[in-house]
Amino acid sequence: MKHTPEPSTADLDFFFDEGHHAIAEKAAHFASKWAFDDQRDEDEATLKAVSELTDAGLTQYCVPERFGGAAIGRPDGLDTRALTLIRESLGWSDALLDTAFAMQGLGSYPITLAGTTDQKETYLPAVLSGRSLGAFALTEPNAGSDVASMSCLAEASGDSYIINGQKTYISNAGIAGQYVLFAKTAPDQGRRGMSAFIIEPNDPGLSVDRFEVIAPHPIGTLIFDNCRIPKNRLLGQEGDGFKIAMGTLDVFRTTVAGAAIGMAQRALDEGLHRALERTQFGKPIFEQQQIMAYLADSATDLTAARLLVFRAAYRRDLSTDRVSAEVAMGKLFATESAQRIIDRAVQIFGGLGVTRGVTVERLYREIRALRIYEGTSEIQKVVIGAHLRKLAASTD
């Protein structure tokens, strides 16, 4: 069985530059050395992951070159292919490791996009050095896909903002060095009334309620009870929040699909090894036609997902056109097909596949959230449908 992830640069050369091959090799080498521990403390493991990712030179791809990050792609922006390749290998290894990496980008890129010089100088070096963990606080108990319906309020009061409300399903809750918060400053203006802020963990009026999910990592609810922050923590201008959130998600939505590809590849590796190793009725179960069909379907799903995802990443990096539909297709197909691939691997393992501590059982829990966060599969279909309607209208 393979003990190292095989990144997509191996056979999709037409999507990549020379620099991407070196990044992919670095990420694959790192992922192969990471030791998964089923008994770990989630906070300690996340802090360790960020520290080691930083030492390996991988988190530098979460910050643009102009602000101290890696010299690849556009100086003012992030290279989507690099981020997606890194998450492909990290997803193959461990979902907590992948999340730790992703949050360094997701929790800092809004500052890159809209921060003042002082804000960038204050927060980005700490992200680059691994001294500070990032967090992205958008989702609310009653506002998920429909972010414009959020109820968290930020009201101006002298030289401060007073914030009230909740954000939930926030990765790195309780251990982040800064949270990028999205709240309403003009509640009657829908998405135009959203603004973005930087929250620090010791701000008065902020508390954290942690909870557990099926693939454990630090996650919880942020509760704002008359939380007071200085006005210089506003990102951009009032009303820029929706634009900042979507600008961030446009980059990182593709990388979620990269993590799904990595998980799917790991499941296929495990399933193939098990099918060749396990003997039933006097021969390896691989020889059974249905098992061979499972593996053939999984290999085909994975190949199709990789093509869709890296097409989206390629166009995101090199095109000035909107690529929302391509990104939506990549995330939709990669996450849904990864669920199918992992499910087949569990089936190949039989009873062992639902035993705690077995890799495919862990993958089964890890993949489920990727079909929900950063845009559910249903929302991706809405995006694709809107694109088709626009195409139809343009040909009338």
CATH number of the domain within which 224 lies: 2.40.110.10
Average pLDDT value for residue range 367-395: 92
Render pLDDT for 255-294 as a digit per residue (tens, 0 to 9).
999 999 999 999 999 999 999 999 999 999 999 999 999 9
Render pLDDT for 27-71 as a digit per residue (tens, 0 to 9).
999 999 998 888 899 999 999 999 999 999 999 999 999 898 987
d(CA 270, CA 264): 10
- In three-state secondary structure terms, 320 is coil
Q: What DSSP string describes 206-233?
A: EEEEE---SS--SEEEEEEEEEEEEGGG
Render pLDDT for 60-105 as a digit per residue (tens, 0 to 9).
999 999 898 987 867 778 999 999 999 999 999 999 999 999 999 9
- Give me the pLDDT at residue 290, please: 96
Average pLDDT value for residue range 320-333: 92
Q: In sequence order, what E strands does 172-203 have?
A: 178-184, 194-199
**Active site (annotated) includes residue 121:** no
Take residue 360 and report the two structure tokens written for it: 């495919």
- Give me the pLDDT at residue 142, please: 87
Q: Percent of the chain, pLDDT > 90?
A: 87
Residues 27 and 127 in one domain: yes
- Give me the pLDDT at residue 1, please: 64
- Give me the pLDDT at residue 255, please: 96
Mean pLDDT of the chain: 94
d(CA 338, CA 328): 15
In a domain, 3, yes or no: no
- Give me the pLDDT at residue 330, please: 96
Residues 182 and 305 in one domain: no
Residues 178 and 101 in one domain: no
Average pLDDT value for residue range 151-178: 96
Which position has the token pair 């968290």?
152
Among the candidates 84, 108, 132, a domain finishes at 132
Cα 278 to chain centroid distance, Å, stands at: 35
d(CA 167, CA 173): 10
In a domain, 374, yes or no: yes
Residues 62 and 165 in one domain: no
- Give me the pLDDT at residue 36, please: 87
- Give me the pLDDT at residue 61, please: 95
For residue 156, give the H/E element and its range: strand 153-157
- Give me the pLDDT at residue 73, please: 67
Residues 155 and 277 in one domain: no
Among the candidates 239, 270, 303, a domain finishes at 239
d(CA 23, CA 61): 9
Q: What DSSP string describes 345-363?
A: HHHHHGGGGGSTT-HHHHH
Among the candidates 239, 260, 284, a domain finishes at 239
The count of domains in the chain is 3
Residues 49 and 98 in one domain: yes
CATH of the domain at 350: 1.20.140.10
Q: How far, CA to CA in Å, does 33 sit from each of 54, 268, 270?
A: 15, 20, 17
d(CA 193, CA 151): 11
Residues 206 and 261 in one domain: no
Average pLDDT value for residue range 306-331: 93
Of 65, 336, 361, 374, the catalytic one is 374
- In three-state secondary structure terms, 86 is helix
CATH of the domain at 86: 1.10.540.10
Residues 235 and 246 in one domain: no
Residues 190 and 255 in one domain: no
Render pLDDT for 113-159 as a digit per residue (tens, 0 to 9).
999 999 999 999 999 999 999 999 999 998 877 877 899 999 999 99
Residues 66 and 147 in one domain: no
Residue 320 pLDDT grade (very low, low, confident, very high; cuts 50, 70, 90)? confident
In a domain, 15, yes or no: yes
In a domain, 141, yes or no: yes
In a domain, 2, yes or no: no
Residue 359 pLDDT grade (very low, low, confident, very high; cuts 50, 70, 90)? very high
According to DSSP, the β-strands at 134-137 and 178-184 are parallel
- In three-state secondary structure terms, 269 is helix
Residues 269 and 328 in one domain: yes
- Give the closest residue to 147 by CA, choosing from 2, 291, 249: 249
d(CA 355, CA 178): 37
- Give me the pLDDT at residue 2, please: 66
Range of the domain at 220: 135-239
Residues 193 and 284 in one domain: no
- Give the closest residue to 330 by CA, choosing from 382, 249, 258: 258
